[in-house]
């Protein structure tokens, strides 16, 4: 299969592929998603095959408007409507209970709930409208690898496996959307993202659970990223927790006989002397730029070098830092550099 690359002006042609049951990757403000007609079971099953994704890992349904959600979900609560008004379009995914038989188990992982999102990307909203159907959209990468933040990342993983890619340049947020479960009595964040718990609580006026990011081996996850290995590059990532740990980490790197990757902010890179065998990747100036660049950095070392070990800077797990550290910890397999 030849994977075609479409520009935003070519949305109609990309939508025709979706209508024919084929797969088209699409841009969002977070990462690139792998799109298929959410009502076409055969197309949805192809998503799992193309990604090498476990079939009990549910998919997020991307919509162009709230009316589409209401076709599939049970009546939306007041809290849901407040959140939709505050954060859609945007990086907030919400899980709702479904009307009986509304979506195939291939989309839901066999659950009676589904996750919905209205992405903040004009090209993708136009794609959904032109296809005249909601589209499923897990990250457009090989399952378990760092999520794609450019069309080139998608091509690296899925070239020849999918029909097309809608290219709208690099994504802005860089980490996947916040996933909020609204199918339970108390809302719970199942995956942290740019929309924080405090921001959600300020809108709905009630507390949100924040410690439900993992499920057991025999449980079916309600959202992506809760069960399986995620975001891992070929190299081993070591998290450097504190600024004062960098001298020791770089001393260790200098003692290695192979190149070492270093992912850190400009301040860390400028304040420390990097050994000759280290290749740096800037995470910018703060947690916002670091979140936007994290996956690109991990993919940089996968695509362009032979580096087998990466030292990567940690941030405080507050606000957007919670999303950044969630992804970094999974990329590293919870492995931290110890002095």
Residues 196 and 283 in one domain: no
Task: Quote the domain boundaries for residue 242.
Answer: 236-332
Does the pLDDT at position 84 exceed 90? yes
**Residue 167 in domain:** yes
**Residue 194 in domain:** yes
Residue 146 backbone class (left: φ over 0; alpha: ψ -120 to 50; beta: rest): beta
Whole-structure pTM value: 0.92
220 or 134: which leads in pLDDT? 134
Give per-residue pLDDT as tens, 224-259.
655 455 788 999 999 999 999 999 999 999 999 999
Give per-residue pLDDT as tens, 266-284.
999 999 999 999 999 999 9
- Give the integer Cα–Cα distance in Å for 117 and 181: 12
Place of tokens 């998603």: 33
Give per-residue pLDDT as tens, 169-193.
999 999 999 999 999 999 999 999 9
Nearest to 233 by CA among 151, 142, 108, 140: 142
Domain boundary among 181, 204, 227: 204
220 or 286: which leads in pLDDT? 286
Residues 135 and 248 in one domain: no
Average pLDDT, the chain: 94
Domain count across the chain: 2
- Give the integer Cα–Cα distance in Å for 62 and 194: 17
Residues 126 and 49 in one domain: yes
CATH number at residue 51: 3.90.870.10
Residues 257 and 170 in one domain: no
Give per-residue pLDDT as tens, 25-62.
999 999 999 999 999 999 999 999 999 987 667 899 99
What are the structure tokens assigned to 95, written together? 């899980």
**Residue 228 in domain:** no
**Residue 170 in domain:** yes
Q: Cα–Cα distances in Å, from 138 out to 27, 69, 80, 188, 189?
A: 11, 18, 22, 20, 18
Residues 172 and 302 in one domain: no
Mark 181-204 as b/e (b = at least 16 C-beta within 10 Å).
bbbeeebbbbbbbbbbbebbeeeb
Cβ-defined contacts of 278-282 (< 8 Å, 24+): 278/250, 278/253, 278/254, 279/305, 279/307
The CA radius of gyration of the chain, in Å to the nearest whole number, is 20
**Residue 61 in domain:** yes
- Give the integer Cα–Cα distance in Å for 39 and 102: 9
Does the pLDDT at position 150 exceed 90? yes
Give per-residue pLDDT as tens, 203-212.
999 999 997 6
pLDDT at 1: 83
- Cis? peptide before 89, omega within 30° of 0: yes
Strand 178-181 relative to strand 24-26: parallel, antiparallel, unpaired?
unpaired
Nearest to 55 by CA among 3, 111, 102, 93: 111
Residues 36 and 151 in one domain: yes
Residue 123 CA neighbour count, 13 Å, CB half: 22
**Residue 231 in domain:** no
pLDDT at 230: 72
Residues 64 and 165 in one domain: yes
Asked if 138 contacts 60 with a C-beta cutoff of 8 angstroms, the reply is: yes
Residues 178 and 260 in one domain: no
**Residue 8 in domain:** yes
């Amino acid at each position: 299969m030849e994977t075609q690359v479409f520009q935003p002006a070519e949305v109609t042609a990309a939508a025709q592929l979706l209508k024919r049951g084929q797969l088209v990757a699409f841009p969002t403000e977070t990462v690139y998603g792998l799109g298929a007609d959410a009502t076409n079971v055969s197309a949805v099953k192809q998503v799992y095959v193309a990604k090498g994704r476990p079939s009990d890992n549910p998919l997020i349904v991307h919509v162009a408007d709230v009316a589409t959600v209401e076709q599939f979900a049970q009546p939306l609560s007041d809290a849901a409507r407040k959140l939709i008004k505050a954060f859609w379009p945007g990086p907030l995914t919400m899980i709702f209970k479904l009307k009986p038989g509304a979506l195939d188990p291939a989309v839901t992982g066999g659950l009676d709930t589904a996750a919905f999102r209205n992405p903040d990307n004009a090209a993708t909203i136009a794609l959904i409208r032109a296809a005249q159907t909601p589209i499923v959209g897990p990250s457009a990468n090989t399952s378990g690898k760092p999520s794609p933040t450019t069309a080139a990342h998608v091509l690296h993983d899925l070239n020849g496996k999918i029909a097309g890619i809608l290219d709208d340049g690099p994504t802005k947020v860089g980490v996947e959307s916040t996933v909020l479960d609204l199918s339970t009595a108390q809302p719970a964040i199942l995956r942290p993202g740019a929309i924080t718990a405090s921001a959600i609580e300020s809108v709905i006026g009630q507390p949100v659970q924040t410690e439900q990011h993992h499920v057991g081996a025999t449980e079916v996850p309600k959202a992506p990223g809760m069960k399986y290995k995620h975001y891992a590059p070929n190299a081993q990532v070591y998290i450097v927790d504190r600024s004062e740990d960098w001298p020791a980490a770089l001393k260790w790197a200098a003692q290695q006989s192979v190149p070492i990757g270093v992912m850190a902010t400009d301040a860390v890179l400028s304040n420390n002397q990097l050994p000759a065998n280290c290749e740096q990747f800037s995470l910018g100036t703060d947690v916002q730029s670091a979140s936007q660049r994290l996956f690109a950095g991990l993919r940089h070392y996968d695509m362009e070098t032979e580096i087998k070990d990466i030292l990567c800077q940690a941030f405080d797990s507050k606000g957007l830092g919670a999303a950044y550290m969630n992804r970094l910890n999974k990329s590293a397999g919870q492995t931290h550099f110890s002095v």
